[in-house]
Structure 1
Amino acid sequence: MSNKDLSRRSVLKSVALGAVALSGGTALNMAVPGTAQALVRKLPTQWDETWDVIVIGSGFAGLAAAAEAAGGGAKTTLLEKMPTYGGNSIINGGVFAAWDDKWHYREKLNLGADSPAQHWQDILKGGDYYSIPELAKEVADGAADALNWVVEDGGAELRPTVTRAGGHTAYRTHAAKSGVGREYTEALRKIAAKAGIKPTLNSEVTWIWRADADPKSAVLGVEIKRGKKVLNLRANKAVILASGGFSQNVEMRSAHNPRLTAEYNCTNHKGATGEIHKFAQAVGADTLQMNFIQLYPYAEPETGLLDAQAVYPFNGPGYGILYVTKQGKRFVNELERRDVVAYAQINLGKDAKPTWSIFNEAMILPMGGDPEEVAEGLKRGRFIKAESITELAGKCNIPTDALVDTVNKYIQYHKDGKDPEFNKPITPAMITLEKGPFYAIPQWPAVHFCMGGLRINASGQVIDVFGSPIPKLFAAGEVTGGIHGSNRLGSNAIPTCIVFGRIAGRNALKA
C-alpha cells in the first residue's frame, strides 16, 4: 500500500485499536490486546503530584539524570521502588573505564596510549559490532568527563592505578577506593542533593501514561504504588526511565535467552525485574537485542555474589593473573572478554565448577587491590593464601603436579613475551608468578547484565516501533539497549549509565 493509502498515524492507531479505544480519556495500552485490562486503563482525571521531570530508578543513571535536570532548574522527583536507594549500582564492582582522569594515572604509570576513539572501537568490537555506533561513541567521548564529575563534584575517590580489563586494548579501567559502586552512587547522591534531590523510596511505578499512539502524543506521567496508596504523577517536561535490567526475572530473561534458566545464579539485587521495559512497550516503545544477556565469569560459585573480592579476577589479567580449572590447567586467554571467559568455563561442564584465579602479592596494588580488602577476604574464606604454588594447590584441592607445571609454563610465556597456548598479549606491566605469597579465589559464571533494552537515540529519547522519538520519554542505563551489542566490556557499565543519565537529564529540560 502507498503512503497515501496508509498513513503512519493510521498504522499506529490500528495497532492500538485492539487494546484501547482512542477517545474518551482512555490510555494507550498495547500490553494485553483484547482483554478487559486493556479497556479499563482510563487516563487520570486529576493528578496527585505534578513535576517537571520524573526520574524512575536511583542507580548511576537515575541519580545522574536527576542531578542534571534539577541542576538545570526543573522541579524533579527521583522514584525508587526498593526500600533503599542505588539498585545494582551500589553493589557494582566499582570499576570505571575512561581513557583519562584528572590525575592522568595511565600516562604517569607509563601504561601506554589511549584515546576516546580507541575506547569507542573497543566497545564496537567487544560487542561484535552489534552496537549502534553513535551511542557507543557518546560513552567513549563522555567517560572521562563523567569520571572527573563524580570525583570533583561528588568527592568520589579512586585507587592510584589503572588496569587493563578483558576485551580492552588499553589500560583504562579505574577502581573505586572503596572497591564497590557505592563510591560513585554516594558521589552522585551528593551532587543530586545539592540540586535538591532526595530519592523517594518505596515508590513502585505501575504504569506509564500516554493518551494514544499518535506520534505527537507525549507521555503524560506515571502511576505509582506507595505503600497502600496508588498515586498519579504528572510530568510537565519529561519522564526518564533509569530502572535497570531484568536479570533477576528468570521468566523474562529465559524467554529471550532460553539457556539462562534458574540454574544460573544472579549478581543483581532483587529489584532487577524488568517491568518498566513492559510498561514502555505498552505505550509504543521499541526494544532491541533483548537476548544479549551477560554472565559475570568471576562470581562466588555458590551464591553468585559479586563482592569486592570477586572483582580481583576481573582486574587482574593486565597484570598477570592466571585462570585455571580445578585440574590445574589453563582454559582461556585471561584477557578475553567476559562472554568468552564465561562460556569457556561453562563448556568445561557442570562438574568443572569452580575454576580458580591465581595471583601473587606483587600484583595486588597494581591491579587495584587493597591489603585490608585482601585480609577481609582471607578472613571470610574468599581468598586462599599460601607461600608456594605446591601449598596453594593442596589448599585448593588442585593436583599439585598439574598446577606447578601450568604456572611454570605461564612464567616462561611472560618472560618470552609470547603465549603459544592462548595467544594472550603480554605487556611490560605484567608481573610473573615467580615469587609468593600466592593467592587463589574460586569463580563461576552468574547472570549479570542485560545488553538489550529500550531503543534510544543519542539524545536519550526513547524510540517507538516506527523509528520516531516518543515525546517527553527518555531512558538511560541498563534499561536501554544498543550501546554494547552482544557483549558489554567490563567497566563500561558505570560510564554508560552516567554519560547517558546526564544526556537524558539535560535534554529533558528542553522537552
Structure 2
Amino acid sequence: MKTLKTQVVIVGSGSAGLSAGFELYQKKIPFIMLERGDKVGGAGKFGAHGVFAVHSKQQLDKGVTYDYADAFKGLTSYNHYFVNGELLARFLKDSGENIDRMAAMGLATTVEQSEQKAHLNDPLVYHKFNNFKSKMATWDAWPQKFEDAGNPVLTETWAVGLDYDPQAGLKGVLAKQASGEDLRIETKKVIFADGGYCGSPEMMAAKYADNDALLNLGERKADGTGIKLCAKYGANVAHNPVLFAHGCAPSLRINPMRRQSSVETLTNLPLLWVDQTGNRFVNEDIVYDFAMWANAAHNVQGQYSVILDQATLDHFRDHLVPMEDTFERQFLEPGQTPTGTVGPIPAIQADFEDAIAHGEVVKADTAEGLADKLGLPIAAFERTLKVYNQAVADGQDDTFLKPAAELKFGVNQGPFYAIKEHCAILGTLDGVAVDRNCQPVTKAGQPLKDLYIVGNNVNGLYSDGYPSYEGIANGFAFVSGWIAAAEAGKAVQEAE
C-alpha cells in the first residue's frame, strides 16, 4: 500500500471541497484533495448558477435592507424550527464575506433578481455567477495552483475508510484509485465534502418511496461515503431525509441542462397536469418555483403527465405565445432580460414524434385511449378534462386558482399527448448532525475528534425539503467548507 502524508485530507472537490482547499491554501496548511471523478467539481460547478448571501458589499451598496435577522427568522420559521440554530447562524453571518472570498477565488458574482419568476419581488439575496463558462474554467485551474503549492489533487481517487479511534483521534485516511492501487494517507484532520448520497441506489431506495420515479440530475459519484464513515464512528444520522428536489423533466435525454427539445420547453409551462389517479393535483403555476414544483411531483409518487392536444401543439408551432419558460432566466448572464414568450417552434411536431419513439411522450387518438396507455382511471381522467376545459372557457379555475392569463389551452380534440414528467433532483440535503464548527456529533452531542463534514453531507438546515431561498445550498457548501477548513487549520496550528 502506497503511503502519503499531509496535515488535512479533503474528500471531494465541489463547492465545499474547493472552498476548504482555498482556505488551507491561503493559510499555507498542507493538504491532499481526493476526487472520485476524472476532473474536479461537483454539483456546485456543473449545475449551480449562484449563491445566497446576506450583508454582502454589493447588497450594502444597493441599499438592500434584508439582513441577518430577516434571514435567520425566515429560515427558522420556514423549517418549523427543525434546524440547527448555531450552524444556521454561523452560515448566515459568514455568507456576505463569502462573496468576497469567492471573488478572490475567481468566482465573481453579481447580486440580482431571482432566476425564478415566482421570486422576482423577493429581497436581493441571490448572487449569480458573472459568467458560467468562466466559472468552469476557473474551477479547472485550481488543482494546478494547489499542486504548485505542494498540495496534491488526486482525481479518480476516493476514500474507503479511516484509521481512527474516537478517543485517540485520526491517524489516516484509506483511499482507493481507479487504477486499483490502495493508498494510506497519514493525516491529522479530514473534511468530508463528497456531496451527499444521491449516487447511492441503496441509500436512496431506503429513504424515498418514489426513488424509482426520480430523475437524478445530480452527482452520481456522491455515494454517501462521508456520511457512512462518520456514522460508523458514532455520528448522529437519525433524522428525516431531505431531498434536493429541483424542477421536473421527462428524462435524462430531455432535461433543462440540455435545452435541445421543445418537449422540455412545454414541460416548463403551466399547462394541464394530472397525477397517477387521473386528477389535477396542483396549480400548475407552481412551475415558476423550482423547489415547490419538484416537491409537488414528489408528493404524487414522483411523477405526473402534462396533457395537451393537437391544436395546442399546432399553436406553439405557428405562434408566439406570451408564456414564460420557467428555465429561461437561469440560462441568462447577469443583466440580460428574458423574453417571457415561447414560440413559434417549427420543429415541435418532430420533437414530439422523437420523444414518442423514446417513450417520453404518449400519444392516442382519444382521451380514453390516452388514459389506457398511461394506466389512469378513465372516469377520473375524463372528469378532469371536462372540468379543466370549462375553467379555460370561463377563464376561472375555482379549484386550484390558476390565473386566468394562464388558462390558455384546453384539451378538446385528438390526437392527445401526454409528456411523462419526473421529479428532478440535484442531490440530497441531509446526512450527519454537526456542531457549529461542522464537526460530526454523536446523539449525546459530543463532537467526533479530527473529523469534519460539510455541504450536502450535513443535516440541520432544512426540515423536509429545499426551501425557496435561491442559492442557499450552494452558498452553504462554500461557507461550510470554509468553516471546516478554518477550524481544522486552527487546530493543526495550535497542536504544532
Is 1:247 aligned with 2:198? yes
Cα RMSD over matched residues? 4.7
The alpha carbon displacement at 1:353 in A equals 2.5
Task: State which drifts further: 279-288 or 191-200.
Answer: 191-200
The alpha carbon displacement at 1:464 in A equals 2.5
Tell me, what secondary structure is at the counterpart of 2:6?
strand
Deviation by residue 1:38-91 (Cα, 9 ceiling, x = unmatched)? xxxxxxxx9811111111111111111122123212111111122111122222
Tell me, what secondary structure is at the counterpart of 1:459?
coil
Q: Which residue of 2 aligns with 1:170?
A: 123
The percentage of aligned residue pairs carrying the same residue is 16
Is 1:148 aligned with 2:103? no
Q: Which residue of 2 aligns with 1:325?
A: 272
Q: Which residue of 1 aligns with 2:4?
A: 49
Q: Which residue of 2 aligns with 1:9?
A: none
CA–CA distance in structure 1, aligned partners of residues 136 and 241 of structure 2: 29
CA–CA distance in structure 1, aligned partners of residues 301 and 446 of structure 2: 45
8 Å contact kept, 2:322–2:342: no
1:239-278 equivalences under 5 Å are: 239-257=190-208, 259-278=209-228
Q: Which residue of 1 aligns with 2:153?
A: 199
The alpha carbon displacement at 1:277 in A equals 1.6
Relative to its length, the structure with more helix (as a share) is 2
Q: Which residue of 1 aligns with 2:427?
A: 449
TM-score calculated relative to the size of structure 1: 0.67
Q: Which residue of 2 aligns with 1:495?
A: 475
Q: Which residue of 2 aligns with 1:459?
A: 437
Is 1:87 aligned with 2:37? no
The alpha carbon displacement at 1:250 in A equals 2.2
Is 1:370 aligned with 2:332? yes
Q: Which residue of 1 aligns with 2:486?
A: 506
CA–CA distance in structure 1, aligned partners of residues 8 and 473 of structure 2: 24
8 Å contact kept, 1:290–1:453: no
Q: Which residue of 2 aligns with 1:297?
A: 247
CA–CA distance in structure 1, aligned partners of residues 182 and 402 of structure 2: 58
Out of 386, 391, 401, the residue aligned to residue 344 of structure 2 is 386
Change (3 A) 1:184 1:81: same
Deviation by residue 1:229-254 (Cα, 9 ceiling, x = unmatched)? 21211113x11111111112222112
1:355-434 equivalences under 5 Å are: 367=329, 369-370=331-332, 385-386=343-344
Instruction: Count residues with an aligned counterpart.
Output: 413
Out of 296, 301, 318, the residue aligned to residue 344 of structure 1 is 296
Tell me, what secondary structure is at the counterpart of 1:210?
strand
Q: Which residue of 2 aligns with 1:208?
A: 162
Out of 232, 238, 249, the residue aligned to residue 184 of structure 2 is 232
Out of 451, 462, 468, the residue aligned to residue 473 of structure 1 is 451
* Paired AA for residue 132 in structure 1: N
Change (3 A) 1:460 1:160: closer
Change (3 A) 1:279 1:87: same
The alpha carbon displacement at 1:367 in A equals 4.3
Deviation by residue 1:200-252 (Cα, 9 ceiling, x = unmatched)? 101111101213x4xx321222111122221211113x111111111122221
CA–CA distance in structure 1, aligned partners of residues 76 and 321 of structure 2: 30
Gaps of 5+ in 2: 261-267, 275-279, 309-319, 354-360, 364-384, 407-418, 492-496
Q: Which residue of 2 aligns with 1:125?
A: 77
TM-score calculated relative to the size of structure 2: 0.69
The alpha carbon displacement at 1:156 in A equals 2.3
CA–CA distance in structure 2, aligned partners of residues 230 and 260 of structure 1: 37
The alpha carbon displacement at 1:105 in A equals 9.1
Change (3 A) 1:354 1:172: farther
The alpha carbon displacement at 1:486 in A equals 1.8
8 Å contact kept, 1:91–1:307: no
Tell me, what secondary structure is at the counterpart of 1:287?
coil
Tell me, what secondary structure is at the counterpart of 2:449?
strand
Task: State which drifts further: 480-489 or 500-509.
Answer: 480-489
Out of 76, 95, 114, the residue aligned to residue 66 of structure 2 is 114
Gaps of 5+ in 1: 1-45, 311-320, 414-418, 425-431, 434-440
Deviation by residue 1:361-397 (Cα, 9 ceiling, x = unmatched)? 999999464389x9xx99xxxx95239xxx9xx9999
CA–CA distance in structure 2, aligned partners of residues 278 and 350 of structure 1: 26
Tell me, what secondary structure is at the counterpart of 1:471?
coil
8 Å contact kept, 1:99–1:116: yes
CA–CA distance in structure 2, aligned partners of residues 404 and 159 of structure 1: 45
The alpha carbon displacement at 1:266 in A equals 0.5
Out of 219, 231, 236, the residue aligned to residue 286 of structure 1 is 236
CA–CA distance in structure 2, aligned partners of residues 243 and 116 of structure 1: 28
Deviation by residue 1:92-149 (Cα, 9 ceiling, x = unmatched)? 23131123544449937xxx64112222233323333311112122222222221222
